[in-house]
Structure 1
Amino acid sequence: MACTGYRFPPDVISYAVWLYYRFPLSLRMVEALLAARGIELTYETVRRWSVKFGLGIARRIRSAALGRGDKWHLDEVVVTINGKKHWLWRAVDQHGAVLDVLVQSRRDRHAARRLMRKLLKKHGRAPRVLITDKLKSYAAANRDRGINVEHRQHKGLNNRAENSHHSTRVREKVMRRFKSARHLQRFASVHDQVGNLFMYCRYNTNAQQKREARDQAFEAWERVTCVPMLGRLVA
């Protein structure tokens, strides 16, 4: 993170951005948590940091990640912004990692085709298996792009993608709705990649394994931000 010229040191900026995207906190909640640690700033400062540094961090997390799975779950959910319906399209692999998100105003073959084009461009290959609900736009988009893979269409098979929308719904409530389609796209793009980084911390039932997974996630965060985690003690 290139934080030269800022009044606060890079570890404080990194910590504030991490709090905002890692947990269901509003900007004012992040301001209060930092104030409890003796760091006095405004929620507007946190907002500006999240906008300026969030997407760069998300790109570095994505580029440093190991190869994603070859089974893609695709799903779309409606999000109302200023009284107008938008659709948040999301792709998830079989391990629960979010591959990409795309906010669009339509829910048709053109929107599905645009999502597939973005996924193929970023991952450089088609999936081995594609799992969606029964929306016919997915099959039509595959035909348009000449994608010939196993395509399973069944609502019950797509729970992984549907469940991935829950955290966005929680944040939508905390933030009292998203302000624009651009705001939603920017937030979801960063939030999902930060979630990918810390995803495996919650899947370990053994306390020692959970601590090890969490430490590895912290170390990965420090690598992508190039600064140590604020106040973290290393044994």
Structure 2
Amino acid sequence: MNTRFTETAARAADREELMLGRGVLVSHETVRRWCAKFGQAYASALRRRQPRPGDKWRLDEVFIKINGERKYLWRAVDADGNVLDILVQNRRDTAAARRFFRRLLKKTRMMPRVVVTDKLRSYSAAHREVMPSVEHRSHKGLNNRAENSHQPTRQHERAMKGFRSTGGAQRFLSAFSGISPHFRPRRHLMTALNYRAEMTVRFAIWEHVTGAAGQPTTA
């Protein structure tokens, strides 16, 4: 049995035991419905607490399988690795790049100073149309931060055994991209003491956002 799958199953079992210990019966479908109902609201609340994005954006696209069909997940991050937006699309042509650029500008309400992409020609064509005054750097080696931001998505894609629909993937990944980074500070730049202090603050913020602050810890 795959080691990663075994670890994921073990974590899921631990969570179910914790819920059972509180007298709450849940299933995977229950958790899915909770995520669908509350996930985006929590992600939006966390994003509102983030500082203004940096002026250097990195964009990247990666394919994902949805019901056996190849789709493309477009993602933009700032210089600190904060996810600015994601979009699931059928193609990775100029029209798709243009749509993502416009959506990104509308969501962030700002114009970047520099945009870094890989060598996909669709980026250059869309850049000339949508933001010609912005510097565009096209180089695969400069885009590692955007590429690395796909890793948590890949992990959950395997755990979920793929996505069932484009809309479902968009809803899940939009919420997930806003929540997951909150619990993933740049640990390699911190001492153990600073990391523990940072995580204490982040869990306090999470409890405030979800309304868990001040609630009893036992059923």
- Do the two structures share a fold, i.e. TM-score over 0.5? yes
Pairwise CA distance, 1:27: 10
Pairwise CA distance, 1:60: 1.1
Instruction: Check the 8 A contact 2:117/2:137 in 1, yes or no.
Output: yes
Letter in 1 for 2:54: G
Letter in 1 for 2:193: Q
Query: What is the root-mean-square deviation in Å for CA atoms of aligned residues?
Result: 2.4
Alignment partner of 1:119 is 2:70: no
Instruction: Check the 8 A contact 2:56/2:114 in 1, yes or no.
Output: yes
Pairwise CA distance, 1:57: 0.9
Correspondence 1:27-106 to 2 at 5 A: 29=13, 30-35=15-20, 38-106=23-91
Letter in 2 for 1:94: A
Pairwise CA distance, 1:24: 6.1
CA distance in structure 2 between the aligned counterparts of 1:173 and 1:228, rounded to whole angstroms: 32
CA distance in structure 2 between the aligned counterparts of 1:147 and 1:204, rounded to whole angstroms: 35
Instruction: Check the 8 A contact 1:27/1:43 in 2, yes or no.
Output: no
CA displacement, residues 175-210 of structure 1 (integer Å, 9 cap, x when unaligned): 111111111111111111112222326345422101
Secondary structure at the counterpart of residue 200 of structure 1: coil
CA distance in structure 1 between the aligned counterparts of 2:88 and 2:116, rounded to whole angstroms: 20
For structure 2, the residue ranges without an aligned partner over 5 or more in a row are 1-6
Corresponding residue number in structure 1 for 2:157: 172
CA distance in structure 1 between the aligned counterparts of 2:153 and 2:10, rounded to whole angstroms: 13
Letter in 2 for 1:148: S
Instruction: Check the 8 A contact 2:127/2:136 in 1, yes or no.
Output: no
Aligned CA distance change for structure 1 residues 219 and 229 (closer, same or farther; 3 Å): same
Pairwise CA distance, 1:137: 0.8
Alignment partner of 1:181 is 2:150: no
Aligned CA distance change for structure 1 residues 143 and 181 (closer, same or farther; 3 Å): same
Pairwise CA distance, 1:146: 4.0
Pairwise CA distance, 1:74: 0.2
Identity %: 47
CA distance in structure 2 between the aligned counterparts of 1:156 and 1:25, rounded to whole angstroms: 35
CA distance in structure 1 between the aligned counterparts of 2:59 and 2:9, rounded to whole angstroms: 27
* Equivalent residue in structure 2 for 1:208, among 182, 193, 211: 193
Letter in 1 for 2:71: H
Q: Which moved more, 1:182-191 or 1:223-232?
A: 223-232
Instruction: Check the 8 A contact 1:90/1:98 in 2, yes or no.
Output: yes
CA distance in structure 2 between the aligned counterparts of 1:27 and 1:176, rounded to whole angstroms: 16
Instruction: Check the 8 A contact 1:134/1:153 in 2, yes or no.
Output: yes
* Equivalent residue in structure 2 for 1:198, among 183, 205, 211: 183
Corresponding residue number in structure 1 for 2:129: 144
